[in-house]
Structures are given as structure tokens and as C-alpha cells.
Amino acid sequence: MIQHVGNHPFGKKHRPHEVVIETLLFLFALFSILITVGIAFILVRESFLFFADPDVDLLGFLTGKVWQPMIGLFGFLPLLNATLTTSLIAMLLGIPLGLFVAIYLAEYASDRVRGFLKPTLEVLAGIPTIVYGYFALTFMTPLLRSIFGENRVDIYNTASAGLVIGILVLPMIATMAEDAITSVPKDLRLAAYALGGTSIETTFKVVIPAALSGLSATFLLALSRAIGETMVVALAAGAGPNLTANPFKAAETITGYIVRISGGDVSYNSVDYNSIFALGLVLFVITFTLNLVSRKISGLFHQEYD
């Protein structure tokens, strides 16, 4: 028996609004590509204008040791150096602590402790970065100055900023590392126990290596986060580009510079305005690469066990 719906035999009824809705939703999803394209386009275009300026040349930019736009010096090494110093210090604090907290949470903590610790980490993760900046300026810097002496530690310094960024990324590392560790199948642990391993040996010799790709992905993402961090360095690290290996001295990072210049409001079309985009492009490339690599690595991880 064939039922007729409208003029068609029993089958798909022509529903135009379904197609419209699907197209609309597809466009929404495509919008996200538009954002990425937009970011890339703007950064590249303004950077192009920056490098087109007669005072600026690419080699000088990449290798120059002084950044002083007003007198035509555009070496970005001081800014890069400061960014790397703060990020390195942040990783030195954040990765070990974050990893240990994650191991504790995943392998050793009782349910009661977990019930208390996980929300604490969530709270820490939700605190706005400006509060961490305030903390760096009002607590960490005076602390460092009282430990190491006021003439050794400047009032603006990269160590203070780096340490606080480490605290900032700690919850993120802990949570993601814990996910990676708990994703390791129980069988592996049981096998290790069966062979007579203690829980510590199991953790370090079996679980961690098994979770390694997930953990590496976590660390790369944390590094990317630390590199892109702005408010902590804007308040605590310093206001002048400075190529130095001493973390107790003031030095401006890439992000700190962008914020300072755009806060001072540069004229559109000056070399200063374009320079913040060129630096933004560098920042984008670095963090984008780290994120991509991180994703690739954790993709490898998923393949092994699914």
C-alpha cells in the first residue's frame, strides 16, 4: 500500500527549511575558519607594512639586540629573550609540581581528598590572570627581594613574573596530566603489580611512559599558555626591552610590549602601530606551532589504546 504525502510517493518529503537550517549551521561552523583567516590576514598584512618601512629589515628584526623604535632599532631578541626567560621559569615551577599533583590525584588520593582537591584546582584555574599579576607585584616581588636582597632583585623582574605564571599554569597542567594518566588502561597497572612492582615503580616505569604522549601534549600546551600570558608580565616584569640573562632584572616580554604600546595609543600608520602586529604574528606562529604539535602528539596517544 503506497501512501501519498502531497504529490510524492511515500518517501522523502521536500522540506526546504531543513536545508536552510543545515546551511545556516554550516555557515556558523565555517565562521570559525573566518576568524583564523582573519587573524592570519590582519597579522600578516600589518607585518608586511612593518617590514616595508625603510627603517626595518627582516634580518635586523630577527637578530638585532636592541629594540628602540624611535631611533630606528628593531631587533626583537630582547623581547623574545624575556618571553623565553619568564616561560622557562614558569615551566620549571609548573611542570614538576603539576605532574606530581596529577600523579597524586590519579594514583594515590582517597576519594575524600579528591573531592576537596579537584575543586581547589578548578578555583585556581578560574582566577583571572590580572589577579595573578597583582599577586606578583604585591607578594612575589617583595618576597624575592627579602630573600635575595633588595639590591640584587629589581622592583620589576622576570623571575617574579615567571614564578607566578608557573602557579597560573599549575592547575591546567595538573588537570590535563591527570586526564592523561587516568586514561592509561587499568590492565597495564595490574600487569605491573602482578609482576611484583610497588606502586611507585608502577607509576614511574609503566604508567608515566604509557601516558607520555598525553603528558608531552600537556606540557607543550602549558608552555604555549605561558608564552602568551600578558597581564602578569605587564604588571611585574618590566617596561623596557632589555637583553639580559639575569632573571632578577627588569625586561619586557613580547606581550608586555604589545600591551604597553597599545595602551599608550599609537597613531594608526606609524611604525610603532605596525610593530605590535609584527610581534603579534611572531607570537601567533610560536603558539600555533606548539598547539599543533601538542595536538599531533596527543593524537598519537589516542591511537595506541583505542
Partner 1 sequence: MKKVVLVTMLFLALASLFAGGKSEQSTPVANSFAWVEEGTIHGLPMVNPLKVTGNIITAGSSTVYPLSERMAERFKEEGYRGVITIDSIGSGAGFERFTVAGETDIANASRPIKAKEIDAAKSIGRTPLEFRVGTDALAVVVSKANTFAKNVTKEELARLFSTATTWKDVNPSWPNEPIQRFIPGTDSGTFDYFAEEIFASNPEPLLSAKNLQLSEDDNILVQGIKGSPYAVGFFGYAYYAENEASLNILSINGVEAVKANVDNNTYPLARPLFLYSDAAVMRSKPQVAAFIDFYLSYVNEEVIKVGYFPASEEAIDKGRKLWLEAMQGTY
Partner 2 sequence: MLSETLFGTDEMMTSLMQKRKAGGVVWKVVFLFSTSLAILFLLLLLVSVIDSTFGYVAVRNEMEPSQLVAGKDAVSEFSRAELETVLQEHLSSGILRRVLHDKPLQERSKTDLVSLAQQYVVKPSVVRSWGLGDSLLDQKSIEAFMAGNEGLHLTFRSWINWSFFTSDQSANPLNAGVRTAFLGSLWIIMITFVFAFPIGVGAAIYLEEYAVDNKLNRLLQLNIFNLSAVPSIIYGLLGLAVFVRSMEHITSGAFLSSVSDTTANGRTILSGGLTLALLVLPIIIINTQEALKAVPDSLRMSSYGVGATKWQTIASHVLPASIDRILTGTILALSRALGETAPLVVIGASTFISVDPSSIFSKFTTLPIQIYQWSARPQGAYRNVAGAAIITLMLLLMAMNSFAIIMRDKISKKKRMES
- Per CB under 8 A, residues contacting partner 1 are 66, 68-71, 150-151, 154-156, 238-240, 242, 250, 260, 263-268
Pick the binder of partner 2 from 110, 267, 268, 303 (CB under 8 A): 268
29 makes contact, choosing from partner 2, partner 1, none, with CB < 5 to 8 Å by partner type, with partner 2
User: Residue 185 or residue 299: which is nearer to partner 2 going by CB?
Assistant: 299
Q: Give phi and psi for 150, each to the nearest 5.
A: -70, -25
User: Which lies closer to partner 1 via its Cβ, residue 203 or residue 255?
Assistant: 255
Q: Would you state the cell numbers that stand for residue 91, as one nine-digit string?
A: 615551566
Smallest gap from Cβ 240 to partner 1, in A, equals: 4
Strand partners, 160: none
Counting contacts by CB under 8 A, is residue 227 touching partner 2? yes
Q: Which stretch binds partner 2 (CB under 8 A): 51-59, 71-79, 184-192, 217-225?
A: 217-225
The closest alpha carbon to 75, from 56, 54, 60, 57, belongs to: 60
Q: Of the ranges 64-72, 187-195, 205-213, 220-228, which one interacts with partner 2 (CB under 8 A)?
A: 220-228
Does 128 interact with partner 2 (rule: CB under 8 A)? yes
Out of 8, 9, 14, 21, the only residue in the binding site for partner 2 (CB under 8 A) is: 21
Exposed e or buried b per residue across 92-106, where buried means at least 16 C-beta atoms within 10 angstroms of its C-beta = ebbbebbbebbbebb
Enter the C-alpha cell of residue 122: 578548578
Q: Residue 137 CB, nearest distance to partner 1 (Å)?
A: 8
Least distance to partner 2, CB of residue 247, Å: 19
Among partner 2, partner 1, none, partner that 221 touches (CB below 5 to 8 angstroms by kind): partner 2
| 156 interacts with partner 2 by CB under 8 A | no
Partner from partner 1, partner 2, none binding residue 129, C-beta < 5-8 Å depending on class: partner 2
Please give the residues from 34 up to 73 whose contact with partner 2 meets the rule CB under 8 A. Answer: 35-36, 38-39, 42-43, 46
**Contact with partner 2 (CB under 8 A): which of 66, 117, 243, 293?**
117
For residue 138, the minimal CB distance to partner 1 (Å) is 11
Amino acid sitting at position 265: D
Can you tell me which of 200, 270, 302, 305 binds partner 2, judged by CB under 8 A?
200
With CB under 8 A as the contact rule, the residue among 207, 231, 250, 297 that binds partner 2 is 231
Q: Does 175 bind partner 2 (CB under 8 A)?
A: no
Give me the least distance between CB of 65 and partner 1, in Å please: 12
